[in-house]
Amino acid sequence: MKKWWLLFLILVIFVFISTIVNSLSDIQLSACESADNNNNCNLLQDIGIVTQEQCCSDLNLCCSESNPNTQCTNGETQKCGFSNLGECRLGTQTCTNNNWGICKGAIYPTQEIISDKKDNDCDGLTDETNDTKCVTGQVSECSSIPNLVYISPSICKKGTKICINSNWSICYNETLPMLTEICNNGLDDNCNSKTDAQDDLCKTNSHCFNNIKDGDETGKDCGGSCPTCSSCTDDILNQNELKTKQNLGNIISDCGGPNCPSCPTCDDNIKNQDETDIDCGGSCPACINATNLDNDGDGLTDEQEKELGTDPLNKDSDNDGLIDSEDDMPLCPNNFCDVDFGENSDNCEQDCPKEQTFPLYAIFIPIILIISLILFIIYHSLKKPQQSKKETQKQQSFMSKQQSNIKLSSTISKKESQIEKQLSKSLDEAKKIFKKR
């Protein structure tokens, strides 16, 4: 009897452990298969059941590693898009679930519109026509000032322009003429083919070229009757400046060249020139009201798409054939569970597969069986002493009865013996009486 209950107990425990192990294995396999299909092993850690090492090694489901270029730290941000040149503007993308999200707020190049005074294709040129077009990579000589002499002893040298995106760049590495002729250096400083004394400037005021501050000069060889002293506020292109009288934000100054501040641009992150805001308005691209902008023409403004998490440059963010404004779930399916934008396993099981939970009955049934078995064993263990006591009492009663029977038999035997003796005596007396007669 004891061996049968012991075998039953071992069997129940074995079934209980097997059920738990098989259920956990199913959960692990489902988690890894989901991660492998989505090419995103991080899903394993989100589920919290197994690690990536268990999935890819222990369970032999080799999840593909994510593109290292997309890995990032949650909450991190970076610039994205084409550029800040012309009408273009860089956007921002944020790291979510260790992957870079969509690029938000970026403005991309469009076809150049002639006569709108804007750089629509973001190539650095405004309202360019086919006359300014070229073959990308082409290189050519260039000159910013016409009719200059470039033959020695002229100091002027032509520059180089490069064709980028079918448009010519600005002229690089050009040596421009000086405003005045230096009369004692043997060079044609103002590039007019006349050297030193041949130049009309050198025929008078020779003291202006002796490299000494003398006469009525306010600076060395400049000021007074000599050429005006060069400065960044003289409104003259006399020291390789590019522009004069520019609003630099806190000062009006000439700009460019080796001695003056850099010229303002529409992408220097400073409110200067005639801009109405930083890098927009005035001669720069118009400031855009982002609340009304719809870059992809899907009927949703970029601000609305930002709130929905959809791509403002793609009419159909999830590529399911419905444009975002007509799609109840514009991010489903896209192989990513966009929890921040309301996706869950109920409304988009393709992106957010339901987690498999361990059935409670598989735990409770074996536990109930084990408890029942233990109670049964305890019951029988308590019952045995009672049975033994009853048997002992029965034996004692039987022995008592036996002893009583033995005593009774002995008494009966004694009585019988007495009766026999009495009968014998009576017979003897009767015989004596008959003899006397």
The pLDDT value recorded for residue 210 is 72
Other CB atoms within 10 A of residue 332 CB: 22
Q: How confident is the model at residue 44 (pLDDT cuts 50, 70, 90)?
A: very low
Q: With a cut of 70, say whether residue 272 has pLDDT above it.
A: yes
Q: How many residues does the chain have?
A: 437
Cβ-based neighbour number of residue 11 at 10 Å: 11
Structure confidence by residue, pLDDT tens digits, 104-161: 888 877 767 777 888 887 767 777 665 556 878 888 888 878 788 888 889 999 989 8
Please give the residue that has the higher pLDDT: either 15 or 400.
400
* pLDDT at residue 283 in the model: 82
pLDDT above 70 for 299: yes
Tens of pLDDT, residue by residue over 418-435, are 887 878 887 877 777 777
Contact 261, 232 (CB under 8 A): yes
**Structure tokens given for 250:** 């806190």
Q: Which of 113, 108, 109, 110 is nearest to 129 (CA)?
A: 113
Q: Is the pLDDT of residue 59 over 50?
A: no
Q: How confident is the model at residue 382 (pLDDT cuts 50, 70, 90)?
A: confident
CA separation for the pair 211, 220 (Å, rounded): 6
pLDDT tens track for 172-201: 888 888 877 777 778 888 898 888 778 776
Number of Cβ atoms within 10 Å of the Cβ of 117: 10
pLDDT score, position 17: 60
Helix (H, G, I), strand (E, B) or coil at 206: helix
Is the bond into 258 cis (omega within 30 degrees of 0)? no
User: What are the sequence ranges of the domains in the chain?
Assistant: 2-66, 68-132, 230-283, 289-343
Residue 161 phi/psi, 5-degree rounding, is -120, 150
Evaluate if residue 78 carries a pLDDT over 80. yes
14-41 pLDDT, tens digit per residue, is: 666 665 545 444 444 444 443 343 333 4
Least confident of 45-54, 79-88, 225-234: 45-54
pLDDT at 405 over 80: no
Q: What is the pLDDT of residue 156?
A: 92
Q: How far is CA 390 from the centre of its chain?
A: 78
**Cα–Cα distance, 415 to 89 (Å, whole number):** 137
Q: Retrieve residue 259's tokens.
A: 């001695």
Return the sign of the alpha-carbon dihedral for residues 329, 335, 339, 345. Answer: positive
d(CA 363, CA 367): 6
**Pick from 42, 44, 51, 47: nearest CA to 70:** 42
Higher pLDDT, 334 or 55: 334
